[in-house]
Structure 1
């Protein structure tokens, strides 16, 4: 089984920032959807949303005021994931905010795309446009998860045909080291082209 995961957060650093929204879709071994969860996360005391994050995600303090507290939200998504393989667009980022799932295997769609196309940018927008997938509502957790599911299926087919291993693989640019390296990760330096 697989869980495709996306977090929206107050910022990039898991040590000082927090999760604000969680989207997750569970897939069976034939990649059919068998469940989903979507959760808003209440801001910790003293945590704020910058204007940039509000514009990017469409979230506000008011919207988040009815959410789960962060610990309960993270525990809920961890329970939802169970022992599944976690799929995320940038696994290093999302797993950095998920302290309870360090033993799960993972697949990073950003890294899959870099292994296939080292010369191309590997953001979600570039990947979905490459495969002709509609790019909509980016930085809304469930929309990002839905696009990541579609992108993953395209990437998996291409990687499998070419014999590219992508399980527990993170690519890393030479000039931008990963801020968080998942426990099971094999880090591959990105080819400079």
Structure 2
């Protein structure tokens, strides 16, 4: 058994199938790729949904094709007001101009094909898109990718590095459109600007930022873990029925500056449950957690898949 991060990807023996099988990130400058961006109703692919998909296909550094489509779902198409304020997308607009999500995702997956994917903070987009390909039994979205945000962090160290910041610094635009195709076009301009100005040592530094850790060896230093560490100072208990090896999971949590507990307690932060047990109304550990919460505790129950994918997000950050 083993739990480790290799080139920014989490590997956990016995439960790898619970982690999104996304491709490998590799910071580089290439000439043939698909640049993409999506708009969503929120940040969580488990409860939020895609409202728009946009992309450009690039060959020899030139745009040869474009994709842009609003998305409509068979049930709820509610768009929070803060999202509408950001990009102008409303439920009414989706119902009027959107196409069914299965149809759009099928076309979008075909548009991407086998290309290397590029985007800004592209892991966010890939989570939503990967889940949709799984839902509709499309070819797995395991394409390798380049995250322009990682390039920005080494080019503009110790600065805010939103897409907006980059397009303003490069004189590309003063505002971010927050629409799939428009943001794909702006991100390509940022990527091209970096390509023109990056020195070899900067690219090497970006590549060196990919995480490589054995999570069952010595405790990691704070600087190694980074500020996105999801278990930092969290007291975490694993329900008996989880598929991950409990002893190794506990060691991993402790090595990542968390606190592994034996059984749920009043001060537990996260109770990790099996994917099936998460929905059980008779799970013993869940019942204990509810009792503690009634008495004032704030225990959050997380499914094993959710927890592992959260760790994978940290590994890829």
Do both share a fold (TM > 0.5)? yes
Q: CA deviation at 1:63?
A: 1.1
Question: 5+ residue gaps in structure 2?
Answer: 1-31, 134-139, 212-223, 231-309
Q: CA deviation at 1:174?
A: 2.1
- Residue 182 of structure 2 is matched in structure 1 by 143
Q: CA deviation at 1:136?
A: 3.6
Q: Does 1:80 align with 2:132?
A: no
Matches of 2:311 and 2:127 in 1, distance apart? Answer: 6
How many residues are matched? 184
Cα deviation 1:49-74 (Å, max 9, x = unaligned): 11111111101111111312222212
- Of the candidates 123, 127, 149, which is equivalent to residue 110 of structure 1? 149
Q: CA deviation at 1:125?
A: 0.7
Cα deviation 1:73-109 (Å, max 9, x = unaligned): 1221110010111111111101111114532111111
TM-score by length of 2: 0.53
- Residue 169 of structure 2 is matched in structure 1 by 130
- Residue 226 of structure 2 is matched in structure 1 by 174
Q: CA deviation at 1:111?
A: 1.1
- Of the candidates 51, 76, 87, which is equivalent to residue 57 of structure 1? 87
Alignment RMSD: 2.7
Q: Does 1:31 align with 2:61?
A: yes
Please identify the structure whose Cα radius of gyration is greater.
2
Matches of 2:225 and 2:182 in 1, distance apart? Answer: 27
Q: CA deviation at 1:122?
A: 1.0
Question: 5+ residue gaps in structure 1?
Answer: 189-193
Secondary structure of the corresponding residue to residue 174 of structure 2: coil
118 and 153 in structure 1: CA distance in 2 versus 1, 3 angstrom threshold: same
TM-score by length of 1: 0.83
Matches of 2:162 and 2:70 in 1, distance apart? Answer: 24
Q: Does 1:90 align with 2:121?
A: yes
Q: Does 1:154 align with 2:193?
A: yes
